[in-house]
Amino acid sequence: MRRLFVPIYGPTVLISIGMGAVVPLIALYALDLGASVTQAAIIVGLIGFGQLTGDLPAGSLAQRFGEKPVLLAACVVEAGALVVASQTTSLLVVSVCVFAIGLASAVFGLARHAYLSEAVAIAYRARALSTLGGTFRIGSFIGPFVAAALIAQFSIGAAFAFAACTSLAGGLLSLLLPELPGDGARRKPAPEAEPEARLSLWQVIRDHRKVLAHLGSGVFLIMIARASRTAIIPLWAAHQGLDATTTSIIVGISAGVDILLFYPGGAIMDRFGRMWVALPAMLVMGIGFLVLPLADTAVLVGVVACVMGLGNGVSSGIVLTLGSDVAPDLGRRQFLGAWRLCADLGNVAGPGLISLVSLAFPLGAAAVALGVISWFGVGWLAKWVPVYDRSRDAVPAKV
């Protein structure tokens, strides 16, 4: 892990700082170019759509070319999209660029995940992947402050240019990754390549459909809870009449709690098993959703936000770790592409669920529904999370 600290975690911090600076500005930038509120929301959503679109091809690309070239290419595409977006006045071009950023993010995320799955021994896997999730959180926490300083001194375009620079720097830093044992085989002609290179994406998905359906559904529920948490706290604060400054402080404190717990969560998973993080995290987030409608002051909203940050923070890396645990040796990268699709579907479905429930019921009803879903996730994960044995070199999947 020490050997991988700079080439794996360094690019993640850099790129997440850049994305943390830009993503909150996309809607504002679209509005400045003449978009309506609805159009701006659709443009922001194109990042998630790009990630969904890129998840499955990303696995095949990583398998075909190896992680290092794919990481660099994703960073170059992301940087190019950021530069073009900052220089155009066309909403269509901005939309294409935002979609391309989502695609690049999917490819970059898959390549990092696949590399660590193979490079780190199972006894340290959860800590390695939790640290990966933690570095992303740290970068996302720092990014908005950098953007605020750049906008105050220059313009929104400066924040986009900064993000492009961090993406390029992250790509170049990724070139320091040590070669994996199978990297040379992927560069051989097809007849000499390993059997894994001849596996199709759909064959891998078909062969492991039970794991993807059962445990993948659990990951889907985890991501619904996570994504809904970040969406509903600001909405509930506004519903209670809190101003933007107070809401920002609440969200910032919750993010601080989240960041502090990523490594302890990984250590618990490595020492005692994945179940000891997955279930408590969903239980705690479910409690937060269920009591949120009772929070009618800034202090109470802040307490609930911190409780939910506690559950989310301790589970940092759980989705990545479970995916690495159940990924097959043959077709690992293609499998992880399908695995990340399950997670990203939950990431999109969470805020969408809030919107749908809120159309017919008060916002508090959406919070209660999310609490019930989270607690249902506790039971589902209890049934399907694999048994963990530190003495083994692999974690068997329940199918």
* pLDDT tens profile 285-339: 999 999 999 998 999 999 999 999 999 989 988 999 999 999 998 888 999 999 9
Please check whether the domain covering 200-390+395-399 is classified as CATH 1.20.1250.20: yes
- The rounded distance, in Å, linking the Cα atoms of 189 and 280 is 48
Closest CA to 272 of 106, 105, 135, 385: 385
Angle at 9 between CA 183 and CA 254, to 5 degrees: 140
Structural domain boundaries in the chain: 1-198, 200-390+395-399
Answer whether 294's CB lies under 8 Å from 321's CB: no
pLDDT at position 389 over 70: no
More confident residue, 99 or 399: 99
Task: Give 393's DSSP letter.
Answer: S
Give the pLDDT score at 395: 52
pLDDT of residue 60: 87
Give CA–CA dist 66/268, Å, rounded.
Answer: 31
CATH superfamily of 1-198: MFS general substrate transporter like domains (1.20.1250.20)
In angstroms, the CA 11 to CA 15 distance is 6
Q: Which amino acid is at 280?
A: P
**Burial, 192: exposed, middle or buried (Cβ in 10 Å; 0-12, 13-18, 19+)?**
exposed
pLDDT 10s digits, 7-36: 888 889 999 999 988 887 887 888 888 888
pLDDT at position 397: 45
Please give the pLDDT value at position 36: 81
Distance CA 198, CA 398 (A): 27
Which pLDDT value is given to residue 388? 66
Tokens of 115: 């590399």
For the cut 80, the answer to whether the pLDDT of residue 215 exceeds it is yes
Q: How many helices (H) and strands (E) does the chain have?
A: 16, 0
The interaxial angle of helices 262-272 and 244-260, nearest 10 deg, is 30
- pLDDT tens, residue by residue, 160-213: 999 999 999 999 998 888 877 655 555 455 454 455 556 778 898 899 999 999
Residue type, 275: M
Residue in this structure with the two tokens 């640290």, named with its chain if needed = 131
Instruction: Examine domains 1-198 and 200-390+395-399 and report if their fold is the same.
Output: yes
